[in-house]
Each structure stands twice: as C-alpha cells, then as structure tokens.
A and B are shown apart, each in its own frame.
Chain A
Amino acid sequence: MQDTKTKQYVTIKGTRDGLTLFIDDRCSFEDVCRELIDKLAVNRPEKEEQEVPVTIKLGNRYLYDDQKEELEKIISDESQFTVQRLESNVILRSDALEMLEDTDIKIENRIVRSGQVLEVKGDLLLIGDVNPGGKVISTGNIYIMGSLHGIAHAGAKGDKNAIIVASYMNPSQLRIADYISRAPDYESDGVYMECGLVDVEKDKIIIDRLQVLAHKRKSLRAFERRIING
C-alpha cells in the first residue's frame, strides 16, 4: 500500500492542445478509475470555462470497448473535458490480422461473370475480365488485368482514395467509397489502360490516364495510405 501512495497511476500534463493523461499500464483498471475520479474531483474546471480536449495515453494497456466507455464517462461527465483521443501501443492480435488482411493484395484469376460477385478485403488484383452484370468489390484498390464491363466498387468501407485500374475500361458503374458514377446512356467504346479515382475538387469519380496516378496518388500501398489518412 505504501508504494501505491507514492506512485501515481495517472499523470496529467497540460499542453498547447489541451490535457494529456498518462495512465500507468501496470495497475488494474479499477485503480485507474478510482484515482481518476479523485483527481478530477479536485481539478474539475468551472462550468464557464471553455471545453478542454483530452488525450489519453494508455501505454501498453489494452482497453475493451466497455472500459473505454467507462473511462470516457468518468472524464467527460459533468466537466468541460472531452476525450479527443485514446492512444495505446497495443492492439488485439485479431485486429492486427484483420489490418494485415485489409492491406494485402488478393490475386484472383478468373472471369467474373454475370450475376457473380467477387468480394475481397484489401486490394484486388484480378487477372481476367469482369463481364456485364458481374461485380467486384474490395475495401482497397482494384486492379483489373482484363476488361471491366460490369461494376467495380473500390474502397467499399469508405476509403475515398481507393482507385480502380483496368486494362480495358468500359464499366456499367464505378463506385469508390460512397461515390457512384455510371456509364453514359449512349453506347460508348471503352478506353484502354485507364483508371477511375475520386476527384476532390469536382467531388465525383473521374476516369483518366494511368499516368496521372503518379502525382494524384503518391502511394498506392494500402498500408501507407492508412497511416497517412488515419
């Protein structure tokens, strides 16, 4: 007991962007909560003061969702504090594997025919065609070495930076994140070696030569993209 008195579980530091809470990662979660409640009771800012953003650094501690909620409740309740970020050095193994899967390139060699749906996590490299009525979906980029006649949906989980590349591009629809564009109503010939991407200024999907990717999407690696864009 002597030790716990001298060593603090929660250290609070003020920074330019608000407060940072360093939480010891060796004690029990209950201890943290208890101490946090005590500390906040002392340091609680007045109601009139403006909101203070709080960053919590957990070190090597993993918090479950209900624990996160509890922590946020303790901090945000009846105070001007708002939890802005929870930072932890550790993630679950299953999350890590999922992340890895999300950033992998999946290679498929087949023809996606009418009525078929090919759905992958991460990037998709399809060696084959997507026929009219067929559909390919990925959470990352889609590269098609073949003809795209059907529907391609890249960044299905909301990644607007995802792109769709095809050797022959004549899609019925292109979808990136929640953007949708469709082929014109008149019969049109497709284009060779082009890509579809979201143009931020126009706020829609455009189709352009592959060469523009070199400066419009600096990094196509899904992992780097995630780091850069959070």
Chain B
Amino acid sequence: MTLWKDFNQGLIKENPVLRLMIGLCPTLAVSNTVINALGMSAATAFVIICSNIVVALLRKIVPDEIRIPIFIIIISTFVTIADYIMQAFTPDLHHALGVFIPLIVVNCIILGRAEAFAYKNPVLNSALDGIGMSLGFALALGSIAVVREFLGAGSILGITLYNTAFAATIMVLPPGAFITIGFLMAFLNKMENKVQ
C-alpha cells in the first residue's frame, strides 16, 4: 500500500510542474512538438530513476555534510550518459533539444527528490517514487505539447490533422508556451474548487 502511495503522489497530487512549480524551463522550452516532449520526458525519467536508485543505495555511507555535492555528481554522471546515448541513437532529437539536455542537471525535480525522498527511503520505494515523478513530469509536458502542436502546427506527432492555413503559429512560438500553461493552471484551479 505504501509502495502504491509513493508511486502515485507524483502523478497528480504533487505533480512537479503544475503543483510544485519546479522544472519549468524544460517544460516550456521543449513542449512545441509532442516528439520533443516525449524525448525530454524519457531523458529526464532515465536520470531521475537512476539517480534515485543510486542515492538510495548510498544513503547509509554518504556523510551528511557533503551530501549535496555528491548528489550533484551522481546526477551529472547520468545526465552525461543520457546526453551521449541520445547523440548516438537519436541525433535529430538531440539537436532539437540542444542545451536543455545538459541542463537536466539543474532540473530542481531531480535534486529535490534525491534530497527529500531517496536519501531517506529504501531502494524499491525510491525507484517507484522516481517512476511516479517522471510520469507526472511527462504528463504535464505531454499535455502542454499536445495542445501547442495541435493549435500551432495543426498536427500531433507530426501527423497533419487539418489545413495548416488555419493553425495559429503563435502557439508553437515562445508566447504560446506561457499562454498554454497559464490556462492549464487556471483550469486545474477550477477543477480543484469543484471537487471541494
């Protein structure tokens, strides 16, 4: 039961992007197409799950005073691995995401989970927490990307759905990201109010 809770809380209740307001930079920057959003979610999921597992494994031998630098080194190792894997197997995606791949290292979600969860909990719980958090991140990123690509380019996953002459190009440009997330948050506020 507690395992399920660890997995579940990252999805909606403590959704990192829409509730805790962290990890905003990649969310807004790479959500212009669904493909980019999926690639970014996969890279972040890899880093967050691996670093959660390693931090949980090492939690008994890491001295308290220097834990933050150690977490950063663990995270940056996995970020480098993800960076080179993407460069080798998906060069187009790597080019589209650009500087945001090395910047995963300063994504507050990852260091936040290492510090707040993995450092205090066993390996299995930490892995599930990582999976839940990265699904929550993917959910937020994916829903923004679907809206933006549909309205801005008239397509989803690169498949054209209607005449692009009717598409509002502004939605795939930077302002579209701010508009989409603003309306999404207002919508969530409204839903939450209804439930209470």
Partners in one complex: no
Q: Which residues of B contact A (CB under 8 A)?
A: none
